[in-house]
Structure 1
């Protein structure tokens, strides 16, 4: 416990927290951009999507496209706030990453491998935003 108050430990602590914030910001930007592209492809009703019959959470492919497009745009906007280490952006980042997880889970049958990858990326974003404390990010 006393080791965290030494002058050598403080810069490392700040660097770790700031690094997590940058990681989360970059990952959220990537998730947002990829979700935008996925949304555009779904709106265009591209042939890359799998169609599954009798899926409980079945929506029209165009509907899923608009959902992913909106989530992607919001994720990119929030990521700009994360680069500034804004508190509102951390809260919004956790919320939008959670919504991306839910949306990708519900659209799992349409593009299974990509949905799992997006869920994993969003989980890392949530982890990074929840681990770094605000007082550690800004000295």
Structure 2
């Protein structure tokens, strides 16, 4: 249940983060030369799509579906990687999201079905 709630929360917050990036380009910090530099609209859509998927899987985990656990570990891993690449744009929130993702992975991998 812990992992499902955290995934649902992280998905909704990722969705809101993506909407903010798409709606207003001046919300996030401007960065200089960065290897993984996309424009903020691209990052926004990445966060919107990933946020929706994470929220759906979080809901699936809460409902106890069979596909929820494996999908949860996979999507939490992808979410952690995306937040790592997002660090220069919003470092504090990226660290918080990375921590949430690590807790989700831990909760899904240690809890017996």
For the aligned pair, the TM-score class normalised by the smaller chain equals: over 0.9
Equivalent position to 2:92, from 113, 131, 139: 113
Normalising by structure 1, report the TM-score: 0.78
Q: In angstroms, what is the RMSD of aligned CA positions? A: 0.9
Which runs of 5 or more structure 1 residues have no equivalent in the other structure? 1-21, 135-139
Residues 25-50 of structure 1: CA deviation (Å, up to 9, x unaligned): 10001000000000000011342201
Equivalent position to 1:70, from 29, 49, 55: 49
- 2: CA distance between counterparts of 1:84 and 1:116? 28
Number of residue pairs the alignment of both structures matches: 113
Residues 28-83 of structure 1: CA deviation (Å, up to 9, x unaligned): 01000000000000011342201110011101110000000001101111111101
Normalising by structure 2, report the TM-score: 0.96
- Structure showing greater Rg: 1
Structure 2 match to 1:103: 82
- 1: CA distance between counterparts of 2:61 and 2:34? 36
